[in-house]
A = this chain, B = another copy of it.
């Protein structure tokens, strides 16, 4: 990697007060960060003092290992935009350097940092919803120690990942912190996460751990694990050992040991695992090994009306008593494996057409009742049934309240709803009803969008000439020309799209308090180990900053453009740390700040 000339960068950035006079800023940007100006520190043989807590010691060891092994040189840094005449002339002097950047001399340093003092108030706090994640990190001018204070271990772990991002190489192998710094940091939202789907395709343990590494570095704290779906069941359970006969192979199974290893790895990095067993929809594989009579419409894909959003179909029969016995037992065992106080019980995309395959449901409907009434039966029966097994907070997809199949009566208000349709509209509706909400709006943050369709034998691609080519309205597009090409939630959500999302817009204060955070889902019809990390990263880092410290500067303006250098550098940092993140731009854009901005106007995004 080419060494940046930190001295010249420092000179340049000193002119640009809003950015800070340093080359590197952590991602997510802290709530408050103030850089000094008295000069750099050398960093040498950092040692930890102040706590014997094992989680802390492990976190510290990871951070110092990354610092000393990577000797990170910033790969993209913020700089003032260069001067540019609105109408350029050939006589203008481009500010881009002609010569390739040279190796650079060691920055003069003003002191040596060798100790990290940590003060954690409550080392017994457990990793659950709303655990205090705040921390302070102070490197005072003239000091030889880095002072960290936090309410809990989890705040201190965040301090370490901040620290490892601000200790950089001076390009000659010497580690430095560029300036004194004072950080007072805490997240805007307690729920900040990504969702992986191991039901459509298996995801290996190691690949899940890689996601957790990326999450820890970007201060995401909830891994929503959509474990199973109609297509496969890889979760090994003692209660029903035959369910994994519907895994994709003997090797593609999550044993209890594997799940526990993933949970422990995540917990050590401040990441909760929110397991999801999707019920009563998206159900076939696994369940069918117990009793096929619990299932309906599993063979209905080519039915005259839609019974599912995709192959293969299948739903648990809400009117079948066995359904409750089995789902309770499955819930009980999975809930006992995962220590989190939250549990995701699914609840999305129930199709009335599917239930028409159940004789019990047909009788139910014939008596004048509706699909909403049927959903209400599920809510009234299944939720108390689950609670009896293990008392957890339930997360459900918004559908139970916000779809054609929504329960016709009451849904307990302590259920947390995950909003995925209609962007701001559904967030507004859900919070207006008094529910807490997790924002997963598909229009803004579904990471699987834009890859075309995946179903086979699809004649829609077999079109040679654009049928709407002669239309003059540029918004008129065709399936194969400009539109989704089979991806229902096209277009692809770029990091700018995700970061720009003001998901509390239009909410009153009461409603805003019901927004607990946001989770970006990656559905896995076109995902397995090979492409998982590239589809999640670095876009999830844009979400990470959005829910940690927001998308606006102190003046209230969107700071998406300021994020550019941070996220470009962070992508390289992820790759260096073994997380296979995608490149966002030509490296030219990393090495030439702002030269790839489409607009010269710094306020183009406004408020």
- Interface residues of A, Cβ cutoff 8 Å to B: 1-2, 84, 86-90, 92, 94, 96, 98-100, 200-202, 231-232, 245-252, 285, 288-289, 292, 296-304, 310-312, 357-359, 423-424, 443, 450-459, 461-462, 464-466, 468, 473, 475-487, 490-494, 496-497, 500-502, 505, 524-528, 530-531, 534, 558, 560-561, 564, 575, 580-589, 591-592, 594-602, 604-606
In the complex, are the beta carbons of A484 and B487 less than 8 A apart? no
Q: Which residues in B have their C-beta under 8 angstroms from that of A482?
A: 477, 483-484, 490-491
The one of B251, B477, B502, B588 in contact with A1, judged by C-beta atoms closer than 8 angstroms, is B251
Give Cα A200 to B297, complex, Å: 50
- Besides A201-B583, A450-B451, 8 new A-B residue pairs in contact (Cβ under 8 A), listed by A number: A1-B251, A312-B596, A453-B494, A457-B594, A457-B597, A457-B602, A480-B491, A534-B534
In the complex, are the beta carbons of A525 and B424 less than 8 A apart? no
Give Cα A462 to B595, complex, Å: 20
**A231-B485 contact, Cβ under 8 Å, with A456-B564, A459-B605, A466-B443:** no
**A600-B302 contact, Cβ under 8 Å, with A2-B250, A358-B90, A534-B531:** yes
Nearest B residue (CB) for A595: B311
What's the nearest-Cβ distance from chain B to residue A83, in Å? 11
Nearest B residue (CB) for A492: B452
What's the nearest-Cβ distance from chain B to residue A452, in Å? 4
Q: Which residues in B have their C-beta under 8 angstroms from that of A600?
A: 302
Give Cα A456 to B76, complex, Å: 13
In the complex, are the beta carbons of A483 and B477 less than 8 A apart? yes
In the complex, are the beta carbons of A99 and B245 less than 8 A apart? yes
In the complex, are the beta carbons of B248 and A450 less than 8 A apart? no
What's the nearest-Cβ distance from chain B to residue A75, in Å? 10
Q: Which residues in B have their C-beta under 8 angstroms from that of A583?
A: 201, 526-528, 530-531
Nearest B residue (CB) for A463: B500
Top 6 A-B pairs ranked by shortest CB distance? Answer: A485-B491, A457-B597, A231-B588, A452-B494, A2-B249, A94-B299
Interface of A, helix, strand, loop or mixed by DSSP: loop
In the complex, are the beta carbons of B311 and A454 less than 8 A apart? no
Give Cα A269 to B492, complex, Å: 36
A-B contact pairs, 7 of them (CB 8 A): A90-B296, A310-B596, A443-B481, A455-B597, A484-B491, A487-B491, A525-B586
What's the nearest-Cβ distance from chain B to residue A149, in Å? 36
Give Cα A218 to B59, complex, Å: 47
Q: Which residues in B have their C-beta under 8 angstroms from that of A301?
A: 595
Nearest B residue (CB) for A571: B530
What's the nearest-Cβ distance from chain B to residue A467, in Å? 9
The one of B88, B100, B464, B501 in contact with A300, judged by C-beta atoms closer than 8 angstroms, is B88
Nearest B residue (CB) for A486: B494
What's the nearest-Cβ distance from chain B to residue A262, in Å? 20
Q: Which residues in B have their C-beta under 8 angstroms from that of A298?
A: 94
Q: Which residues in B have their C-beta under 8 angstroms from that of A501?
A: 464
In the complex, are the beta carbons of B586 and A457 less than 8 A apart? no
Give Cα A92 to B502, complex, Å: 50
In the complex, are the beta carbons of A582 and B530 less than 8 A apart? yes
Nearest B residue (CB) for A575: B530
Q: Which residues in B have their C-beta under 8 angstroms from that of A310?
A: 596
The one of B297, B475, B480, B588 in contact with A497, judged by C-beta atoms closer than 8 angstroms, is B480
In the complex, are the beta carbons of B586 and A200 less than 8 A apart? yes
What's the nearest-Cβ distance from chain B to residue A593, in Å? 10
What's the nearest-Cβ distance from chain B to residue A518, in Å? 15
